[in-house]
Structure 1
Amino acid sequence: MKNITAEIRIYVADLAAYNNGKLHGCWIDATSNIDEILEQVDDMMERSPEGFAEEWAIHDYEGFGGVSISEHEGFESVREKALFIEEHGALGVSVLDHWCGDIDDARQALDDRYCGCHSSVADYAQELTEETGDIPSHLEMYIDYERMGRDMELGGDIYSVELGYQEVHIFWSH
């Protein structure tokens, strides 16, 4: 996963200048309100070295981790993703990336499917097993929680996001 920088921003380029071999654009804080973003784009376009600047494109971005931003993505969509990442940090990036940038699915995953942070998938399988039934003490040593957790992932019941040492976030898949 790419690093998440402190600032979540986009570089908006003037396409008229770009097509004529000139770099002209500006970095914009992607968490700004839409009016501020549009104002900055308008200001940049007015200062174009070309007299006929009408179109822009997002040519770069920072702070979005592995989440892709297309060059013609709407500013409202970019802002929604930026605010989601700002609120949820690295976990937000991973969830948004898992759902291919679909902000609604990512929100639903965090709101409705999140099972918490565990030291491993096996730790979650053990917790779930112990919470849902009584295991006779003479059988406890025979339960393979690592295999159980792996089967839960391979079977599509859960997906996990590992953000660090013993920091595994678990989500129900459905």
Structure 2
Amino acid sequence: METKVLSEAKVYVGTYGKYNNGSLSGAWLDLSDYSGKEEFYEACRELHKDEEDAEYMFQDYENIPEVLISESWISENFFSLRDAVEDLDDTEQEAFFVWCNYKSHDLSEEDADYLIRDFRDEYRGQYDDEEDFAYEIIEECYDLPEFAKTYFDYEKFARDLFMCDYWFDDGFVFRAA
């Protein structure tokens, strides 16, 4: 899943009526301007008030996972998810989408707050590789003398850590749940 910055999500909103008459008339709407789906649809109605009973067509979009939008639909969960990831920094947001993809979470259906809670529980940080994480574990958890660290097999220790307890994807480490 490509990384998305949900706070920068935008949608180009036209209508099927205009499209069928050869017009791509519409506008980009910045979803950060709306607190929820109803407020967003109110802006769509205002934008296309020249059309009676307009059927909105989302002709293009940016920074929205495909599972949360289609040509004629936007998930209610988009707004909840956008608000839930607001407290995550850019690296954590990237890790969140890696985690969601790896775990096959359905962003359109699952409760955003629970997703964030579970992500925070499993996320361990960004590392160059599994061995880099193993170095940190040794430093934090074991009081090895310097001479012992030169003999320690970090590669094998990392292999053992990632057999069951952790997983690594795209530079991020997560606790296996």
1:118 touches 1:170 (CA, 8 Å); kept in 2?
yes
1:58-89 deviations in Å (ceiling 9; x for gaps): 3322234xx33421232x32223333454422
Give the number of the structure whose residues are more often helix, by fraction: 2
1:144 pairs, out of 153, 164, 167, with: 153
Q: Quick one: distance in 2 between partners of 1:5 and 1:78?
A: 8
Q: Quick one: distance in 1 between partners of 2:78 and 2:6?
A: 16
What SS does structure 1 have at the residue aligned with 2:47? helix
Identical aligned pairs, as a percentage? 23
2:3 touches 2:94 (CA, 8 Å); kept in 1?
no
2:123 pairs, out of 89, 114, 139, with: 114
Corresponding residue for residue 21 of structure 2: 20
Aligned length, in residue pairs? 162
Structure 1 unaligned segments of length 5 or more: list them: 163-168
1:13 touches 1:24 (CA, 8 Å); kept in 2?
yes
Corresponding residue for residue 166 of structure 1: none
Give the structure-2-normalised TM-score: 0.66
Corresponding residue for residue 60 of structure 2: 60
Q: CA RMSD in A?
A: 3.4
Which letter does structure 1 place at the counterpart of 2:56?
Answer: W
Shift in CA distance, 27/146, structure 1 to aligned 2, threshold 3 Å: farther
2:45 pairs, out of 28, 42, 46, with: 42
* Offset of residue 97 of structure 1: 4.6
1:6-30 deviations in Å (ceiling 9; x for gaps): 8322223312222333213332222
1:16 touches 1:52 (CA, 8 Å); kept in 2?
no
Shift in CA distance, 47/153, structure 1 to aligned 2, threshold 3 Å: farther
Q: Quick one: distance in 2 between partners of 1:173 and 1:52?
A: 50
Q: Quick one: distance in 1 between partners of 2:118 and 2:53?
A: 45
2:130 touches 2:168 (CA, 8 Å); kept in 1?
no
1:20-66 deviations in Å (ceiling 9; x for gaps): 33213332222221243122111123234xx552x2233322234xx
Shift in CA distance, 2/70, structure 1 to aligned 2, threshold 3 Å: same
Q: Quick one: distance in 2 between partners of 1:92 and 1:126?
A: 25
Shift in CA distance, 147/59, structure 1 to aligned 2, threshold 3 Å: farther
Q: Quick one: distance in 2 between partners of 1:79 and 1:140?
A: 49
Corresponding residue for residue 91 of structure 1: 92
Q: Quick one: distance in 2 between partners of 1:40 and 1:98?
A: 33
* 1:2-17 correspondence to structure 2 within 5 Å: 7-17=8-18
